[in-house]
Each structure stands twice: as C-alpha cells, then as structure tokens.
Structure 1
C-alpha cells in the first residue's frame, strides 16, 4: 500500500481516532525502520488503542531501530507487539527500557507457562543455587523484575491474542498467580544471600542459620486462590520455624525469617530503577499491622483459637502454600483448616459476614460507588462474599466445597446442589466478565485500579481490549446488566443462603416454608431461629449416609435441645461435634440407636459452654455418654501411671508437656460431664479435680527434673497444696494455691535456690494452657506477694519461728504436700504442725484472726458487689464457714487430733463429735458450704468463665440453675434458696465466730 493511498476513512475503520497525526507517524516509522506498511497497518485494527499502539511503536523505532526492525521481520511477533502496545502503555514502557526483550516476544503464544517453568526462570534470573542468589541487592532486584515482566508480557500476549478472553480468564489468572509466587521465590533467594552479608541491616546471620530457618509464605486472597490480576496487591502471611535438628531455636528463626520477609517484600514492592512489581500486603496476619510480621505455627494457632474474628477465618479460606518452605506452608494450611471450617458455627457468624459486606459498600467514596468493578453493588465482592459464605456454612460438613478459587467453589456448590446450576453458571459468567474488564483496566498502565472509566474514549478502548462489546455504549449496557444480575443473585443467596435447605427435613415432617420453620424454632425456645436453620441445613443437606441419619435425629434432638437452658448454643456445639465425629463409625450410630446418649448429649451441650468448648478439642469424649462408669473420676494412681507412660514415650519436654495437658483437659471434661449429668456428687468431684491437678503437677515435675542440675540427686524439692487445693476441695475454675519448698543435697545454697526457682519457672511455663488455665497461685506463701516464690525448709523454719502472723498459721491449716520428695514433704508438714496446731493460742491471736476476717469482708469484696451474692467472700458463704472451722482448729487442733485435717467438712464433723459446735448449727454451715461450692462450679460450667458473684440476669440464673438440676424457669428459686441457706449460715457464724448475740 502506497502512503498516499491510505485514506482517513480506512484509518478510522481500523480504529484510529487521531487521524490527522497518524499519517505523520507512519511516515516517521518508515524512515526509522524497515516496515511493510501494507502488512503492518491492518494489525492495528485488532489493537485496543491503535493510536497508542502506533505512537509506542514509533517511539521504540526511534530509540531502538535495530531491535524493532528485526522484530518486524516476523509476522507473528509483529502481531504480538501491536496487541501489547495497544493494550498496555506499562508494557510499552518496559520494552522501551529493555529493548532486548522485544526479540523475546512470542511469535504465537500457544500456551501459558507452568509454575515450574516460571520458578526455574526467575530463580535463574538471580543466579539462585540451592536457595541462595548470586545476584543481590539492586542488581538482583533489577534482574528479577525484568525477568518477571518478560513473562508478564508473554502472559499478556496469550491473553490479548486469544479469541475469547473470558474463556481464557481462568488460565490467565492462574498463570499470573504462579508468576507472582515464582517472583517471591526469587526474591527470597536474593534476601537469603543479603542477610548473610555485613552491611545489609542491623543483624547478620550465618549461612547455616539461614539454611536452618524454615520460612513459608502463605498466599491469601487472590494469591491464595490462584486468581491474581495483572497488578494485584499480593496478600500474604509469613510463618517460620527453626530446624531443631540443626540446632536453630524458634526465636532465632523468627529473627532470620523476619529479615527475609522484609527484604523479599522490598525486592518486589520498593521503588527502584526498574519499577516495583506490585505491593506485598502482609496485613491479614494476626493483629494486622500491629502484629508480628512473622510468627511460628503455634503462635498463629494460639491467636486463631483465642482471638481471631470471623472475618479472619473468612480470609483464611483461600490460604495456600505460596512460596518458600512449601511443606511448612502445607502444615500451616492443614492446621488452620479446622478453625476455618468451624468458624461458621460462631455466634452471629452469618450476620457478621453480611454486615462486613455492607460496611465495605458504605466505605466507598460516594463518587466511586457506581463505577466500582470490585467493591460496589453488583461488583466482584458481591460474588466473592456470597460464595465464601456458602462455602463456610456448607464446607463445615462437606469437604467438596472447600475450594480456594471462586470459580472452583461455584462449581462445587452447584455440583452438590447448594445452589442451582443456572445460578452458578450465571455467577461464574458474570465473575469472568468482570474480571476480564478488571484485567484490561490494570494492564493499561500496569497499575492497580478497579474503577470503570467515565470518559467515552477510554470506554471505547476498554471495549476493544476486552472484545466484550463493539463500542462504548454497548459495553456500558453490558456492564450495567451484569451488575444488576450479580446484585440480584447476591441478595437472593447471600441474605438467605440456607433457607432452601430446610426442605431436607425428614419426610414424615410437614413441609415448612422458611418463615414457618423459623416460627417453629422460635416457638420451642430458639432465640436465633435463622441461625438455627443454617446449622440444621449444614447438618442435613446432602445424600450421604451421615446426612440421612442426621435428618432423622435432628427433629428429636432439637426438642431436647429446646428443653435446655441455651438451645442455640447447644445446636452450634452439636454441629461442631458432628463435624468432628460425623465420619466415624460409631458416633451417629450411637446417637441413632441409643436415645439415652443423644438426650444426654443435648443436655450437656445446651447446659454448659464449658463442656461445649472442651468437646471441641476432645470430641471423642462423647463416647463416654453411653456408660456411667466412664463419667466417674479416675483414680490418682491410674492418672499417674498414664503420666509416667507419657514421659517414657516422649523425649522432648514440649511434646510430653502437651500430652500431659491433654490428659488434664480430658479428665476435667470427664468430671464436668459427670457433674452436669448428676452421675457424681460434690465429694467425688472435688477429689477428682484435686487428683487431676496433683497428677498434672507431679507429671510436669518429673519431666522438669529429668533436666541436668534439677534432679533428685541435686536437690530436694516439693510442692505444697494450700487453700481449697490442699483441702482437696477444688471446684471448676478454682485456682491451685501452692507453696514451694526445697532442701540442698549436692548443690550449694545459692545453686540450690537458683535450681528451685528454675523448677518453678519451668512448671509455670509447661503448665500454661490457654484453653483450660492451670493457675498455680503462690499468694499464700510467707509475706504474701512480697515474699520469695521459693524457700528452703530452713528458711521456712526461721521465718515461722520469728515472723509468722496469725493469718499464715491459719493458711497452713490446709497445707498438704502434693508433689515432690516425700521426705521433704514429711519434714515440712511436721514444721507446719507446730505452727498451725499450737499448744495454746493467745487471746490476742484470736482477736487478730477475727479482725482480719472483718477486714476481708470490708475490703476484699469487689467494688459494688452485693455481699449477699458473693459465693466466696459473701455473708454466710464459703469464707464464713471456712474461717469458723479454721478458728476451731487453731484453738483446739493441738488437743484434738481429728481436727488436724485440711478438709473443711471433715474438721467440722470432728468439731461436732467433740461438742465444739452443735449438730444443728454445723448442719446449717455444712449446707451453706456445699451449696456455695456447687454453685461456684455451676457458674463456671454454664458461663465458661470463673466468677464468684451470683448474677442478677434471669437468663443466666436459669442456666446456672439447670446445671444444678433445677427445672426450667427456676432462676428465682435458685436465688431464693441461696440467699436463704447463706442467711442461716451467717447467723450461726456471727454468733459462734464473733460472739454476736
């Protein structure tokens, strides 16, 4: 074609808009490079923006005529170049900066690169060998960024030259995600080398330390889902671990990994000679921006188990091993998965997800709402939130919908009939269309954007780039109709995601509409019938044998749950338990074939959050409900035998301590089940709780004393139980009051003291359990909180002989050795006997005891607490009975051997037998003490937290009453009974203790 034969109309048909300048640009191109205009010009007809494509080509020809001329000899590469230049000024700038990349453009991009190809290529770009890069700092980052953009250009070429970009979207998004993961791998390799070289930061690490550091990058969001855009924020979480076999501790590994994380992010996202690739966003980590950048797996789990909000589990839905130590990444994903898939059972979970989506919309600037492809109504977030909510609800019981990608999840939800095929197909088509628009917008200047253009020319370019519509007006029409369809589907599924599943109720039930089902659940006692419907649907949906059994069980179990104090929580807890055990051969069969077990299960789940939360961690304990013998306390010797077996099996302290803590949780759960089901009474419960505490302390003490310098040949050491623990009177939520005593053997005094303190420190560390705390309280030691935590036996003897106060002698009344060296325990108890059972007690000492008691009543009650409702320190409650009995022991213990017992009720009975108190008065005191002890445990079982104040809330009182085997609606009766029994006890106490008439 001759230059003067190219008419303006022909240029317009090709899509050029700046017609007056096109001929001049073509003429200039002819003068700088060898070009066949007749072959070249038609190619602009398929460019998104022909004017931009031509301008960029001329610019390249001016600066790099040799490379451009060589490229234009290839028809395939020329077509690729024109498509890229017309769609992306960002890639045009890249090619201008690096002209050698022109000749690396594909002739015909027939396939996309695999992850393996991308990783190998990007590691090669930085000269990586065995995880360390040859090229570091600016040179390494430059090489990495250039190589990454080479691949980005190849991916874009494939995308732009495909006949159907919507159909190609899935593969393109996955390739972009793989390229980002490969870039991270290369950036980590550069960072590994950098941190071993002086001058690259405040800390320098040895190569051995770096090699021993397990460092994993967890992809989140679109990175985790394999759905990245051309320029997405890459959301990540970092996890690290030390290699114990290589001698690297976790704290040191965290230091190494933190530096690796910082540098690898810098290499990808910090401005440089070659522009940054994209922003790495680590703010989905625990505690967000305020949290540690890198944590161990255990630290992550501790946070998620205790503190995480519902949205964090929603985010974890897409977590996958992305880069670094993929094995560690897999361990992370496997560990958090149970938390993710149980998160939908959280209270108000659905409401919280719905409200979160609404907040996203509310926070969009008003002038952007209509143009937001991602966040606005009818945008991508509507689809993603809907799919994620459906996944989290149904995925709790159906692993098939546990997909990371939005499109994969949609397909699974449809295949398993959670949503209709038409709805799923429409959502998938709309999602791909919106994502293609988003891709083309971001590809333009290689910057992150989600706003549809408002300018007519920009809309025309977008229409051509996406090939979704012939012109700007048609694209706007298509986009508006897509938004409308997405919003309609979102509102239909997102706000009522599980109501259709109510149809899965048993065939013998009358079919109910969603509104009728909600009304029925509300009528029988559920406070959140919508939430209950979601859990019922999750339990009964599907054609599996498990779902079939659940459909038959649930109508009956719902009635039993409704008879409990908190049916909503009971149903949630049952769902969690079913998710844990529904696949076992015995669980559902037992519930189906033994109504007693099912009824018991509903009773404990609707009556005790303490039990519900523990069953989450020990679901197999549900099997105990079939046999009363499994609900009685195990003997101390049996538990100790198990502890010894644990110590024999485990070489490491951490593993052994974890196993010991699991035994403690299990046995406390056993006692809780037995207590709520009235299988065991208070004496057995108190003894059982005391025994498991003692066995735990003994097991941990044996574990600690395996350490060199802490053994029996080095020093004698003992734990003395005090307070309710020493008296074997523990309840649920009770602290374990203790004192520590030691005696030198092979070590000198200073070494022995240090060794004893080290034992105590390790005992506190290894006993720490966030789920079920074991509080070893040492406040009853000499000098109280101001005294040393450990003392030698000689130090105790010197202190008590010289400084002992009345309250310390009183505290020793319930002192009893519980763990450690028996000879030392015997010697300590002999010393204690001389203090707590004096031959005679002065009137001044008696007055001091009474003065302290009055002071406790006035000063130790929480501010504003009603003295009549405090079950520990209140009038006529535990404190009154115990102080009365203890004064009798101080006054008469020397002459009456039977009073020399740490047991409150045991000493009270001896006092009756020796005419120190009348049987009638003793019975009033005993009744109050037992009632208050049972009530204190019941409050812990109901609330799953320790409290000493009887609540005033009617619902809470009723729940506590149900734990104590009162009938439904007994809040007032419980309150009246407690106030009455403590009033009678207080009258006896005031007369017998203070001498009040």
Structure 2
C-alpha cells in the first residue's frame, strides 16, 4: 500500500499553477505575510510544492486566498510538515473554543477549525507526506473532536435552559451517546465525506432544576438538533461535516434520539439486514463513552449471531443488486465507490465474512477494513494472494477518491469528464496522463469485481447449466411432491439409488416432519431450494443411499436454523465435502448433526485436511480465549468446546482423506487435549485464586501455581483416539496447612482440592456444545477412595510403599501434560525412582501375568487364549482388538513388564511413555530381539489403525476372529518368550 509516486506537473496544469501563484501572492501581500517571522524562508523552500498543490486543489487555493493569515500560520508553525499525535486535534479545538459565548460563535469556530485542518490534511496528502492510513485517521479524528466538543459545549447550556436529564431508574444525570457509523466508525473517513450518526441516551426520565421539566427524550432531541445545526448548516464559512441521520431506527420518519431500551427493542424486533451491515462499524464518537460501550454490547447480538449466518451473503447480494440498479438508473458506471469493482465491493467482501463468522470468531469483530483483511488472511478465510489484491486495489481506489474530493472539497466518487480535472487526478495518483491512470484503475476494478463474484455472487450464476437452469432442478418435482411414487422411485433408481423406496420414504419423512412443518416461510423457501441441490450431489456418489441416510438427519436438525442450509447452498464445495465425510464415517455424520456449527469447518478445504501443529494449536486457542472477557465463563466454556469439536473433526477428516497417518492422528488428538488442559488449568487457577487468594509453599512464598496435571493411559502414551477419555492425576507442591492470602482464605489442601474440582467441572460440564472430555481419576493414589489432589510428597510415599504392581505398570505411561515446570521435573524424578527400583523377576512376571489374566476374563471375548484357543481364530468368533489374547493390551503389558524389569539397569527405557518408542529403545539396548521389537511395533500400529477405523464407523473395537491371525500368534509367541503366562 505504497504512496502514489510524484511526477512532473503536466502542461495542462502549469497554467492553473501560474494563475494560482499570482492570486496567492496578492493574498499574502495583503495580509502582510512578509512581516511574519519564518514566512519568507518557508516560501523559498516550498514555492514549488505550493504551486503544485494549488494547481491540483481549488479548495486549498481558495482557502489560502480567503484566509491568508490562516495559511501563513499553518506554514510557519510547521503544521503542514507534522504528523499529529493522538489527542492533538482535540487540544487545538478546545483552545479555539475557549471564550465562545453563542451558538453562532460555536458554528463559526468549528467551521474555521475544520477548514484549517482540511487544508493541512490535503496538503500532506498531495505532497506525499501522509499515507492513506494517516489521512483517514486525521479526518476521522477531526470529525470525532468536532462532534464531541460541540456536544460538550451544548450540553451544559441546554441543561441551564431545559434542566438536567435524570434517569428514572438510576437517579443519575444522563448524557447522550453519539454513534458514528460507516467510514467514521471505522476511522476511515474520506476527504469530503458526510458523517452518519445515531443518537441514544441510557434511560427515560425527566429533567430537573427548572419549572417546566422535559421528558429525557425531548431534551436530547433538542440537544441533537442543535448539534446537527452546529455541524451541518452551510454558512459563509462553509460547513463542518454534512450530517446524515437516516441510519437511525425508522430512518427519517423516526425520532431523532432513542433510549437504549428502545434501540435494543427495535433492532431485536425490526432490525433489517442492511442495519446489521451498518452496525458493524458503529463506534462511540461523542458523549458518554462508558454508556456507549454498554450500548454497543447490548447491540452486539443483533450484529454478530452466535451461529454461522450465511443468510448474510444473500442480504448483501440483494443490497448490491439494488445498488447496481441505482447505478444503472443514474448512469453511475464511472462511480469508483458504487460501480462494479468499486470501493463498496471490497467492503462487502470483508463484511460478508464478518456477518457470517463474527459471532463465533471474535477476531472478525473489527471496524477497520485493513484489519479485517489481515484477519481473513491470518485465520485462513481467504488466501494471502486474495487479501493482498483486495488491499492494494482498495488503497488505489481510496487514493483516487481522495484525489477526486481534494479538487473542490466536494463529496464525489465520479470520474471527471473535463480534461483539466482528469489531468489533476492522473497527476495526483502519480501517472503521466489519464490513459495510464485509467488503465491501472480498470485493472484494479476488474480484480476486485472478480473476487467479489467469488464471495458474493449467486452460485447459480456461476454454473454452466443448459438454458440457465438451476443446478439440481431435475429433483424439484420429486421434492415438491409433484410426482407419483412410481415416477419418483424410477428417477431415484436411474440416478444410482439401490433402495429407491427407502430413499423416497426418508425424503417424505423429512418433508412432512414436525421440524419442517413448523418452519417459517423464508426457512421453507431455503429448504426447498437446497434439497434438490443435495439430491443432485448425492447422486454423484458411489453410495447415494448411504449419503442420504446419514445427511438427512442433519438437514432435519438444522431445518429451523435455515442459515445452515444457506451455508451449504452458497458453498457447493462444502456440501460436497459434507457428503463425502458422512458417507465415509457415521461418527462424523453424528458429530455434525449434534453440533451443526462444525459445518463452518467444511468451508476451507486446506484447513480442514491439514490441522495445525502443536505450537500453532496452543497459540490459536490462547488467542481465541484472550478475546473473551475474563468474567464470561459461559463463553469461555463454549469456545473451548467448539475448539475441540472443530479440531477433532479436522483430524478425523484428515485421517479419512489419508493426509494424516495413524501416529499423527494420535499426536494431534493428544496435542489438542494438552492445549485445552493448559487453558482449563489457567482458567481454574484464575477463578480459584480470585475467590480465595494464592496458596503458599512450605517456605512461605506464593505458589505459581505449583500444580501439575499428569496424564496416564492413552493421553500419557500419546495414543488418544477419537472418543478417548482422559486418565488424569493432580499433584501439587504447596503447603497443605498454610492459608491462602485472599479475602476468603482456606488452607492449601482445600485450595488445591477446589482447584482440582474446578478443572473437572470445566472439562466435564455439559453445555450446548457437549462436554470437553470424560475424566477418569481412578489412577490417583488409593483410587476412588483417595484424595482428589495429592501433594508431591504424599504421591511419592504412596508409590514407594502402598502402590500395587499394576499401578507401577500404569506409571510407565504417565507423563506431565501441563502445569508447573519445577513440580513436573520433581514428578519425573519420583517416577524414575519408583520404576527403576530392583524387583524380583519371578514375582514381577507372576503379578503381571495374573493381572492380564483377570483383564482377559473380565473384559475380553469368550474365545481367549486361556479358554477355547482352537476356535478363537474362526470367522464366527469375535476378536477384541484391545483385550483378547494377542491384542493391544498384551503388547502394552509386555512393554510395561520390560520397563519395570530392566529400567534399573537401563534407565533410557523410561525416556518415553509411548509404546512405539519404548519398543525402539528396548531394541537399541538389546533387551528385545530387533525382529521381535519391530514386529510388535508394526502389529501395534495395525491394531490401533483398525480400532480407529471402527471408531469412525461407530463400531466397537471388535473384528472377526479370522482377522489378524498371524499378528495375534506372533504376539502370543513373544509373550511366552518373555516368560509371561
């Protein structure tokens, strides 16, 4: 977004420059500028710049002639060369308003101040001292301070005349809130923009301190009228800002000012799509900032819906069509704001994503277009190449807009007809002539229009269908019940459905179901437009019956939230991915049906099939939660759950698509759990500390947090599956007796117990998005009868004196997931000490074998090694991948036995907690034959891969007995070779 280049002044403008120079010389002579210190030096240094600016901008030339002392003061003060810091404009205006005694004086001071600043801003823009961002910022700051300072001047005088408005409920004095909309709200005002305002006040009541009190609304209407007059009325000094109030509720026919409750009620009951679009950029520009922030919070649910709102695209499309009709009617094709590929199309692209996703992705709740484009790039909604083109094209158009308006301080976006003004525009944009500028302009308008069509255009317009028919229209008669049963079944059969009668019954069931019958008209129209598309795409799949069986429950579930239907209709690629994933996995179909917000994940194919790595995963969750107020626990819990659901879907989709191998699937699911546990611990710690204060260590210093979450089992072994629960143990290293330092102190033992309870609640509480994880705490010391949270010392003593062999086996797979690094290192030392202790090999083999036998008897299939070994390998017999002889648990027990038996002499065996890498170490140190170790790794992966496939098919981890026969026999052989029985 570079500044336009500077080129020599063209011949056509030289004559204008000469005339302006002569006129300005006369004006400066009359005001005796030569007597002003520094003026002569400034003029010598900037004479050429003055000629060029005067040639380009009639407004600057006229203002300098009309008020030469003003221009001279601007020049010698250095203001034309300075970038203003925040608040500088307001300070200057406050000084200018000192001593202002009447509304006429107020208007005069505001207009002269505005003209002075307008000259300064245009000068800096044309001399390339300010880029687009600075120019828009200065213009917006100018509007802000003029609006607010005028209000602050008017308010006390109105209170003297009409009384002070008092809230009926609070009994407090009331101030008006002034919302700036559009470009003002986004801090993107242009050189001659009008300002769109909405006035509000907190609550009803009456004024006090006068004989005849006014209703608060009437009081603020009078204040508002005076404020508009101060800003908008054209006098001999011009105007401050053209003020447009038509965006308020009910437009020009509505009251000028509304109470907060009335505003909320209006937008809730009658707010239209274009008003949501406008409210995205709303910002408090004057009046009571604190009350204004509260008002914007009240209105946020109207703007940003909690669900995916693809109906916004249809609304924006309708708005664009109305604009295009107006453009054609008024012959405004040359309008660089409203015409094809214009400024408005870039804004529509950004705001479409904001309206659709902003309710859930808080990073999109931004006003600045450039910030939104960056977010769309960073969050993967649009490719970087797309946002780069949109940003550069938009900047070019805004520079062109400023050039058009700099000529005569006139609000226009129309390209000029006159040769003189065309030469000015081309020169201001850094081009040698109009043709070169126009070529570049048309290039950017073409690129913007192309991107606009990709996002906003009707998908039916993009389909190359015969006679311009809508995609899927051949299915409309069937869905609309305009065919008899025989014709409908024949069409289904010809389209590849193997059970047409069942498919038809499913469709009839959907059409006549309670959900559809209860739909409102707009929702029913969306459903009627969507189902034919669904059938057309389903017919392209290998098993359309299965697709329909699994997808129709989702359609029924979201029927009354028809924005989801719009999402799928607007995004054929997302619909195609939905059908493919549902056909491949009933588990995925069930997940999306239970949590339709997951449909959002289908929009971005690259993101769907390529989940992020562990650091990116943790950073993404951290960033999401930082955008939620700390006291909004409900939204924090929902954000955590949606994050888990979304990333778990990505992993499952990647596994089905083959972009993630088995080991990486478990890695990602484990990373996901760790990222969530890290944030859950932080939330629980913050909440518990807020209530009770910080616990102490034994030395009296404060814990920070001296707490760890240890993972056992699958999460400890980095082997999580799609539906795995979490085996956790909580350990702290605080002083159990010392009290916390808060207002409601409790001892350390109680504190850490409550912290543990809070963590479990955050993980297991059922919300609209389900629970995060099922949590199993039975592996803690003394199991279900033990303390929820153990001190590090108590944990070490229990492991040394009271733990069973099977608990030491479990410890092999234990590792610190999140928490205090120091306590984590101490836990690792305890784990190593316990696992490396000398053991009598015969006793160890017997205890491991006995525990395994109990598990087989209680959890395995009946055809086990200990039972009917002869028919255990027959197809009719089930083989439990995990529990049966030769299965997963046998391999895990062998690894655990090896770690307990040999880690005392070979501590490197304990370096890892996952079975694959422990087997690798056992081979490296010669404790297992290399062939056997590698064979166990291969078999273990094969079993787990089969278990994952079963889970995605919503099947238990059981296969036919004639599968994995060689693998099972190999595991049994190695089991016996280790002396286990």
TM-score (norm 1): 0.46
Higher relative contact order (CA 8 A, sep 6+): 2
